[in-house]
Amino acid sequence: MEVKTASFEKLATPATTTVSGAEAVIKCLLEEGVETIYGYPGGAIMPVYDELYKYQKEIHHVLTRHEQGATHAAQGYARVTGKVGVAVATSGPGATNLVTGIADAQIDSTPLVCITGQVGSHLLGSDAFQETDIVGISTPITKWNYQITKAEEIPEIIARAFYIARSGRPGPVLIDITKDAQFASLEFSYKKCSGIRSYKPEPEISMPQLEKAAEAINSAKKPFIIFGQGVILGGAEQLLKQLVEKTDIPAAWTILGLSALSTDHPLNVGMVGMHGNYAPNMLTNECDVLIAIGMRFDDRVTGNLDKYAKQAKVIHLEIDPSEIDKNVKADIPVLGNVNKTLALLLDLVKEKEHKAWHQEFKDLYDIEFDKIIKNDLNAERGKIGMAEVIDEINTCSKGDAVIVSDVGQHQMVTCRYSKFNQTRSKVTSGGLGTMGFALPAAIGAKMGVPHREVVAVIGDGGYQMTIQELGTIFQTKVPVKIVILNNGFLGMVRQWQQLFFDKRYASTEMVNPDFVTIAKGYHIKANQVTERAQLADAVKEMMESKEAYFLEVKVEQEENVFPMVPTGAAVSEILLE
């Protein structure tokens, strides 16, 4: 009987149904395939939360402990899945608390849709309770934003929001919805957005430019590839691998490009930039053709621009025309999504061998190994080093885990030493350098790929910026693994103070609470390691835990991260000590 009634109703349902604006918001999310959202309720968004209550079987809403946590969780989710992350907040302080995450998503090209409640439209501009101009505030840090004041606008605007967030170079979109628009009703029908006349997500591809690029690559003696997150965002990892293998060109990565090519690939020569590997930094200023793929020449990558790869012909494969010539002049710009341009380029390049050139990388790696890596991994010295912890995680993960890191010394060490077999495995705040990113991002990442192990590696400083998200972990029982590398300092700032400010450690020493007790307060399994002898077993126990697990490792207090390109220096002036 029940089945019969249901199918009869289905037949009788017209193309549109009358719903409230708030319900329309949920229906839009369902139409876009959204399963999990992160947020925090409050006055101006209550109608939407009331609908979330009714739709709780269809949409999993994760209550974070702070709206910033909601954005970072949505970012973590987006980064590992490639889907659009969704964060919801109320007006006023709820909305302003999203700002850091939105700015982070903007600079790291993460697809995000943020939905904020707003005071009723009749109150706009009256300095009403919890009114803030979030559209004005978020304008410079969003790919697009819009304020909805009428319920009828909801389906079209939300469809646009998802289209804009995910297409072209992805980014965050904020949609502000007045409370009266949430209450009002509309005839609901949904059509996914497939184009906006003033917006061209991907520039046209120029074959002559590709031919020029191929010619330069084919005649190069010392070609060098630097790839960034564009490869991951474009889903072009296999094409990159094929290109690298066919042309035998050594390839290095920016921190957001990490894991696009497996770390043990023989042609993967490591990380570029301030704390990158020795060989790729040195040889950036030796190569004759520099092939930049889906990266944007951030200042942390290039060091002094006046002394950056001046000898090289620069080929820049990039989806965003505004990145061409922004920092480094491209001799051969190749516009387009790298999943298309790399496929075309692959047919045009010739098979090559560059043995002598590889030897130069190997020789420099050996120097870095002797001067730095050997010591970093050395189990003989005093206290535990950060790299040793990463090494133990690698041993357990065998390169299959998602590693989320925060910002600072531990981030650089994590990027330098983590092993990855598959793409979308490294989640970190690159461009904005947001301390506090990792814990909530790890929550989102684990929910995005529940079948994978997700380990958050965090410093004792950044951890305390979003430590309240332990509550989210406890409530949702999301089995993330948290490793705190505790050196009792804001380590990166301390390192700079030591090197450039005569060891004046202004406000970098952290007097920390008992982290294990705090974790236990949230009923999260917790352990602390102070001695090297306990480390391997402790990491193993954490990695094998079926539940969330917190591990604090007391590490060397005044360890410095090397190599290092000091501010204002050329990448080839990289210091080994």
- In this structure, what are the phi and psi dihedrals at residue 127, rounded to the nearest 5 degrees? 55, 45
| Residues numbered 393-452 forming contacts with another protein, rule: CB under 8 A | none
Name the segment binding another protein (CB under 8 A); options: 262-270, 314-322, 477-485, 544-552: 314-322
Stretch that binds another protein, among 102-110, 271-279, 322-330, 413-421 (CB under 8 A): 322-330
How many CB atoms neighbour CB 272 within 10 A? 30
Query: Look-up: residue for tokens 């949230």?
Result: 522
Give the nearer residue to another protein in terms of CB position, either 138 or 425.
Answer: 138
3 state DSSP class of 318? strand
Q: Which is nearer to another protein, 149 or 304 (CB)?
A: 149
The answer to whether the beta carbons of residues 410 and 435 sit under 8 Å apart is: no
Nearer to another protein, 139 or 219 (CB): 139
Angle at 369 between CA 363 and CA 370, to 5 degrees: 95
The H or E element containing residue 455 is strand 454-459
Between 147 and 528, name the residue whose CB sits nearer to another protein. Answer: 147
Written as one letter, the residue type at 182 is Q
* Binding span for another protein by CB under 8 A among 207-215, 240-248, 317-325, 431-439: 317-325
Distances 148 to 22, 23, 532 between C-alpha atoms, Å: 12, 15, 57
Question: By CB under 8 A, is residue 145 in contact with another protein?
Answer: yes
Stretch that binds another protein, among 134-142, 434-442, 457-465, 558-566 (CB under 8 A): 134-142
Least distance (Å) from another protein to the CB of residue 235? 22
- Catalytically active residues are 67, 129-130, 179, 492
Those residues whose C-beta lies under 8 Å from the C-beta of residue 15, and which sit 6 or more positions away, are 189
82 vs 203 by CB, closer to another protein: 203
Q: Is 227 in the site for another protein (CB under 8 A)?
A: no
**Residue 135 touching another protein (CB under 8 A):** yes
Q: How far is the CB of 232 from another protein (least distance, A)?
A: 21
Host H or E run for residue 291 = strand 289-293
Helix/strand/coil for 464: coil
Interface with another protein includes 196 (CB under 8 A)?
A: yes
Q: How far is the CB of 142 from another protein (least distance, A)?
A: 9
Q: Which lies closer to another protein via its Cβ, residue 140 or residue 208? A: 140
Is residue 187 a contact residue for another protein (CB under 8 A)? no
The pair phi, psi for residue 332, each rounded to 5°, is -130, 90
Q: Is 30 in the site for another protein (CB under 8 A)?
A: no
195 is an interface residue for another protein by CB under 8 A = yes
For 299, the 3-state DSSP assignment is: helix
Task: By CB under 8 A, tell whether 499 contacts another protein.
Answer: no
Q: Which is nearer to another protein, 146 or 474 (CB)?
A: 146
Bridge partner list, 458: 484
Closest separation in Å from C-beta 163 to another protein: 10
Query: 195 vs 208, which CB is nearer to another protein?
Result: 195
Of 132, 147, 411, 434, the residue at the interface with another protein (CB under 8 A) is 147
Q: 395 has which bridge partners?
A: none
Q: Is 144 in the site for another protein (CB under 8 A)?
A: yes
Contact residues for 194 (Cβ-Cβ < 8 A; gap 6+): 163
Task: Give the residue among 535, 518, 511, 492 at the shortest CA–CA distance from 439.
Answer: 518
398: left (phi over 0), alpha (psi -120 to 50) or beta: left
- The contacts of residue 64 (CB under 8 Å, 6+ apart) are 38, 39, 40, 70, 73, 440, 443, 469, 472
Query: For another protein, which is the closer residue by CB, 318 or 453?
Result: 318
- As measured in angstroms, the least distance from the Cβ of 344 to another protein is 20
Position 321 contacts another protein (CB under 8 A): yes
Q: Name 352's bridge partners.
A: none
Sign of CA dihedral 116, 119, 122, 125: negative
Min CB(171)–another protein separation in Å: 10
For residues 387-404, one letter each, b for 16 or more C-beta atoms within 10 angstroms of the residue's C-beta and e for the rest, the string is bbbbbbbbebbebebbbb
Find the binder of another protein among 14, 140, 208, 382 (CB under 8 A). 140
Q: Which residues make Cβ contacts (< 8 Å) with residue 268, sequence separation at least 6?
A: 251, 252, 253, 261, 262
Binding of another protein by 197 (CB under 8 A)? yes
- Number of residues located near another protein, criterion CB under 8 A: 22
Shortest spacing between CB 392 and another protein, in angstroms: 43
Should residue 103 be labelled a site residue for another protein when binding is judged by CB under 8 A?
Answer: no
Considering the rule CB under 8 A, would residue 302 count as an interface residue with another protein? no
The verdict on 164 binding another protein (CB under 8 A) reads yes
- Quick one: 82 or 201, whose CB is closer to another protein? 201
**Distance between CA atoms of residues 552 and 350, nearest Å:** 50
C-alpha 461/C-alpha 224 separation (Å) is 37
Among 129, 199, 500, 501, binds another protein (CB under 8 A): 199
Q: Is 125 in the site for another protein (CB under 8 A)?
A: no
What is the Cα 319 distance to its own chain's centre?
18
Q: Interface with another protein by CB under 8 A: which range of 238-246, 321-329, 441-449, 537-545? A: 321-329
Q: Are residues 318 and 324 in contact, defined by beta-carbon separation less than 8 angstroms?
A: yes
- List of residues contacting another protein (CB under 8 A): 135-136, 139-140, 143-147, 164, 194-199, 320-322, 324-326
